[in-house]
Structure 1
Amino acid sequence: MNQYSVNLSTIFTEVPFLERFKKAKEAGFLFAECQFPYTFSMEDIQQKLEDNQVALALINLPPGNWEQGERGLAVLPDKIQEFKDSVEEGIRYATALKVPNIHCMAGILSEEADKKEAREIYLENLTYAASLMAKQNLSLLIEPINSFDMPGYFLSDIEEANSILSEVNMPNVKLQFDFYHIERIHGNLLANFKRYKDVIGHVQIADSPGRHQPGTGSIDYQRVFEFLKEVEYKGLIGLEYTPKGNSENSFEWLT
């Protein structure tokens, strides 16, 4: 289990969030990740990490008002100060909890929004965030998300994500390669991974369709894992899937 990071926002949801760290330990995981830890105190989370000897590998920046449909603030022209505040909050949690990676969701644009302006704001905001994170030795991740699951999401193409990384041109800004999303957007998983390997900072997996555990969809994860060894990917593999059935039973593919 030493290369896998279990996502506690999507797995072990049978129990309250703070109890999921114990579940992760009991299942044999050394690493966990979660999307938005901000409704819980840093002290409570830190205690659970210490009690269960689990390290937190990844969190997301605060996404704005999720209930009102916001999925990140980084491209929104009227949310620049709120984005900066979210960066400070994310850094506070990451440094306190010793989290090395922070994913920045781009946001959803309205149909009438100026996409060119949004892109310029995105570049400026990423540069701002990455500069602050670099001082704390933190990596900032961006991730293409498919438009079937999240219509209107600004960053829904891996080539565009790579262009953004090139333009920001900071060593601590990297690509989060989610096999589920890339399969839904582009397919050609192994070719796309190999093409962008040098800018990948974190990997996540789920099967497609359904976004459940490997073995429930059409992705050949046995080949994916063989391939990751072949290309000498050394990073963590985040399990960001919704278990089909009981969470504990969703790890059978690991044996």
Structure 2
Amino acid sequence: MPKFAANLSMMFNELPFLDRFAAARAAGFEAVEFLFPYEHPAEEIAARLKGSGLQNVLFNAPPGDWNAGERGMACLPERRAEFRDGIKRALDYATALGCPRLHVMAGLAPAGGARDTLLATYAANLDFAAEECAKASVKPVIEPINHRDIPGFFLNTTAEAASIIEALGPERVGLQFDLYHCQITEGDVTRRAQELLPFIAHMQVADTPGRNEPGTGEVRWDFVFDAIDSMGYRGWIGCEYRPKGETLAGLGWMQKYREHDA
């Protein structure tokens, strides 16, 4: 059955970040992911993980100035040195947290930027990230993001991501397959998941169109989760959604999977 990880950047926002770990464990989660850990010492987050008996399965490399609207640096030629420093900082955290996956955000394509130049920069930076991550037994992952949520994001489709991963080697770089972004940009999510399975290192879910919990939108999740399970995917599925109300009140969709595990 699917294994779900709570995304602590979006869920349990009723509590301060460091208190969300215990709340996620009390709600029945065994793993967590989050966007960025860098506002807190790695040792403090590691203590919360250990105290709650949780695994950290994913977080993002530094994205640049997030509050100013930056969404990664990997495709930006003028930010290469900053990107490399960010990967090293992320790996310090990944080592301390025992995290096996690191999301490397592509960034926003600058107006007038030549796509060939941006793509070459992106590939070179991912190659560097793969080399550094391998030393720490961490796998970098890339995620196509739809243009509705992040206008101008450099990487948009699963086909683009698969092409890049194939060139760099799927043993070195993986796909972060977010069903929410795929549904908006491409649709046909279960067939795409099946085709991309050799590349997929992590999955994420949210319902469309509102990016809320499964069961609040247009997707028939029982069918989707059964299909993913039948494909043989055994990795984590991150719950990267915004609860429509209080987090615990919106977890009813998970009940059948908890009962199966019990």
Please give the range of the TM-score, normalised by the shorter of the 2 chains.
over 0.9
Moved >6 Å (runs of 4+)? none
Give the Å deviation of 1:250. Answer: 1.5
Q: Which has the higher contact order (CA 8 A, sep 6+)?
A: 2
TM-score by length of 2: 0.95
Give the Å deviation of 1:50. Answer: 1.0
Query: What corresponds to 1:161 in structure 2?
Result: 161
- Cα distance in structure 2, aligned partners of 1:204 and 1:92: 24
CA deviations 1:120-170 (Å, max 9, x no partner) are 000000000100101111111000000011000000011011111011125
- Cα distance in structure 1, aligned partners of 2:182 and 2:199: 15
Query: What corresponds to 1:146 in structure 2?
Result: 146
Asked if 1:6 is matched to 2:6, the reply is yes
Q: Please show how residues 216-227 of structure 1 align to structure 2 within 5 Å.
A: 216-227=216-227
Indicate conservation of the 8 Å contact 2:179/2:203, yes or no.
yes
Q: Go from structure 1 to structure 2 and tell me whether the alpha carbon gap of 1:140 and 1:78 turns closer, same or farther (over 3 Å shift).
A: same
Query: What corresponds to 2:113 in structure 1?
Result: 113
- Cα distance in structure 2, aligned partners of 1:112 and 1:172: 31
Query: What corresponds to 1:178 in structure 2?
Result: 178
Task: Give secondary structure in 1 for the equivalent of 2:198.
Answer: helix
- Cα distance in structure 2, aligned partners of 1:100 and 1:172: 12
Task: Give secondary structure in 2 for the equivalent of 1:198.
Answer: coil
Q: Please show how residues 22-101 of structure 1 align to structure 2 within 5 Å.
A: 22-101=22-101
Letter in 2 for 1:231: M
Q: Which moved more, 1:238-247 or 1:2-11?
A: 2-11
Task: Give secondary structure in 2 for the equivalent of 1:120.
Answer: helix
Indicate conservation of the 8 Å contact 1:244/1:250, yes or no.
yes
- Cα distance in structure 1, aligned partners of 2:172 and 2:17: 29
Letter in 1 for 2:194: K
Letter in 1 for 2:107: G
Give the Å deviation of 1:172. Answer: 2.6
Letter in 1 for 2:74: A
Matched length? 255
Task: Give secondary structure in 1 for the equivalent of 2:12.
Answer: coil
Indicate conservation of the 8 Å contact 2:208/2:218, yes or no.
yes
Indicate conservation of the 8 Å contact 1:144/1:157, yes or no.
yes
Task: Give secondary structure in 1 for the equivalent of 2:204.
Answer: strand
Indicate conservation of the 8 Å contact 2:2/2:225, yes or no.
no
CA deviations 1:70-91 (Å, max 9, x no partner) are 1000001110000000000110
Percent of paired sites with the same residue? 40
Indicate conservation of the 8 Å contact 2:2/2:234, yes or no.
no
- Cα distance in structure 1, aligned partners of 2:54 and 2:67: 30
Letter in 2 for 1:188: D
Indicate conservation of the 8 Å contact 1:138/1:172, yes or no.
no
Give the Å deviation of 1:249. Answer: 1.1
Give the Å deviation of 1:51. Answer: 1.0
CA RMSD, Structure 1 to Structure 2 (Å): 1.1
- Cα distance in structure 2, aligned partners of 1:222 and 1:56: 26
TM-score by length of 1: 0.98
Q: Go from structure 1 to structure 2 and tell me whether the alpha carbon gap of 1:2 and 1:234 turns closer, same or farther (over 3 Å shift).
A: closer
Letter in 2 for 1:80: R
Give the Å deviation of 1:111. Answer: 2.0
Letter in 1 for 2:239: L
Indicate conservation of the 8 Å contact 2:61/2:86, yes or no.
yes
Query: What corresponds to 1:243 in structure 2?
Result: 243
Query: What corresponds to 2:187 in structure 1?
Result: 187
Gap runs ≥5 in structure 1? none
- Cα distance in structure 2, aligned partners of 1:6 and 1:128: 29
